[in-house]
Amino acid sequence: MNLHEYQARALLRHAGIPVPDGDVADTPAGVEAIARRLGGGVVVKAQVHTGGRGKAGGVKLAADPAEARRVAEQILALTIKGLPVRKVLVAPVAEIASESYVGIILDRETQRPVFMVSAAGGVDIEEVAATTPEKIVKLAVDPRYGLLPHEATTLGFALYRDVKQVRAAARIMEQLYRAFMESGATLAEINPLVTTPAGEVVALDAKISIDDNELERRPDLAALRDPTAEAPSEVQAREAGLTFIKLDGNVGCVVNGAGLSMATMDLVKYYGGEPANFLDIGGSSNPEKVVNALRIITADPSVRAILFNIFGGITRTDDVANGIVAAMQRFPVPVPIVIRLTGTNEREAVRILEAVGMTALNDMDEAVQQVVALAKEAA
Ligand code: GDP
Ligand code: MN
């Protein structure tokens, strides 16, 4: 679950990290009122779950409340990477002398939180990672001991020369690490961490992702979820009990089991296609799940063809076949469907599909090749 910047800022502030004051609004008039209360220049920032807002026109400075209102009108009308802007953060503008990057990710390979810091921060950290990875300093933390003082100092020296700033940064590293661990985050990022002309070190942007498995025991964090800011397909899928992740390709995928789902996406890519989603209908046998899955996938305009890959065990393939038939009776499915199924009640499933003029394949490679070809034809 991703937090909004304003929520992440509050968490960091609570951890003791210097973060400018600020407030959120969802109307230009609300923005103007906050700007008046703060006094002086402000920055108005789109609150959407994606980076690169600056480049997309979602972060703008305003000298006075009237201008803040005008830029808020523009920003609240934006859609950034498919996400409509519904809220903006208004904060006093900070003067920037330097911008650096500080992040912690949960590295599943080493099973450790890994710090990544770079003096080349700001908006282009992805580019830094791609072209000059040596400018990013990495440090894996042993969770048994936490971030040790000398490690925090090392990270501080990776960013600054001035000893006061190094100390300030080291302290921020320790606070960020604690916030990361205590919130069950998979990612905590400050970009930019700036120095001001007066020499202060301040966090101007914050991004935190919480592990969904943490939410059960952290109702306070779960309450921060903003369904209006998530992709509508992901919200529907969560409500329908499906594990769904929207991706960028055009081959819709309906699979049972996380492992088979991942293998299926690999195979789609192997045969030159791009999956439009990850969708695991789970182990239970319920035609309604299949109907919901198809409803969500067909609502995605980039989907050109749909692949079913079902390995019948606890999931009965006849239930899946019934779900497909039911879906096609209830709403239009405007793209071709390729069905591969095998296992429990397979013969029954084939009969159900053939009765409505559909066919089922048995071979996974063949099915994936077919659906990739169909998606390419229609693209
Ligand atoms: P992102 O593009 O989504 O990562 O949004 P950021 O919050 O990181 O803002 C992008 C850029 O806008 C930053 O790297 C800064 O250069 C600039 N910016 C953001 N807040 C301020 C501010 O308070 N003062 C100034 N001068 N620039 C800011
Ligand atoms: Mn940023």
Residue 122 Cα to ligand 2 middle (Å): 6
Pocket probe for ligand 1: among 48, 204, 207, 208, the residue whose CB has the most ligand atoms within 8 Å is 204
Pairing type for strands 305-312 and 251-255 reads parallel
Residues 6+ apart with CB under 8 A from 124: none
Nearest in space to 261 (alpha carbons), one of 308, 297, 219: 308
Pocket probe for ligand 1: among 48, 123, 207, the residue whose CB has the most ligand atoms within 8 Å is 123
Q: Are 2 and 49 in contact (CB under 8 A)?
A: yes
Name the active-site residue from 32, 99, 189, 346: 189
Task: Name the token pair of 215.
Answer: 């939410």
Rg of the chain's alpha carbons, rounded to an integer? Answer: 24
At the second CATH level, the architecture of 231-378 is: 3-Layer(aba) Sandwich (3.40)
Half-sphere exposure (Cβ direction) of 327: Cα atoms closer than 13 Å: 24
Indicate if 270 belongs to the active site. Answer: no
User: What are the residue boundaries of the structural domains of the chain, listed by start?
Assistant: 21-92, 98-222, 231-378
The finding on whether 122 has its CB within 6 A of some atom of ligand 1 is yes
CA-55 nearest atom, ligand 1: 2
pLDDT (tens digit, 0 to 9) for every residue of the chain, 379 residues total? 999 999 999 999 999 999 999 999 999 999 999 999 999 999 999 999 988 899 999 999 999 999 999 999 999 999 998 789 999 999 999 999 999 999 999 998 889 999 999 999 987 788 888 999 999 999 999 999 999 999 999 999 999 999 999 999 999 999 999 999 999 999 999 999 999 999 999 999 999 999 999 999 999 999 999 988 887 788 888 888 888 988 989 999 999 999 999 999 999 999 999 999 999 998 776 899 999 999 999 998 899 999 999 999 999 999 999 999 999 999 999 999 999 999 999 999 999 999 999 999 999 999 999 999 999 999 8
**ω before 275 within 30° of 0 (cis)?**
no
CATH homologous superfamily for 98-222? ATP-grasp fold, B domain (3.30.470.20)
The finding on whether 205 has its CB within 6 A of some atom of ligand 1 is yes
Indicate if 6 belongs to the active site. Answer: no
Pairing type for strands 337-343 and 305-312 reads parallel
pTM over 0.95: no
Q: What residues does the ion ligand 2 have nearby, CB within 5 Å?
A: 191, 205
The finding on whether 113 has its CB within 6 A of some atom of ligand 1 is no
Q: Are 100 and 159 in contact (CB under 8 A)?
A: yes
Residue 116 Cα to ligand 1 middle (Å): 19
**Domain 21-92 is in which class?**
alpha beta
CA dihedral 342, 346, 352, 354 (to 10 degrees): 60
CA dihedral 310, 312, 315, 321 (to 10 degrees): 60
Give the rounded distance of the alpha carbon of 269 from its chain centre: 21
The finding on whether 99 has its CB within 6 A of some atom of ligand 1 is yes
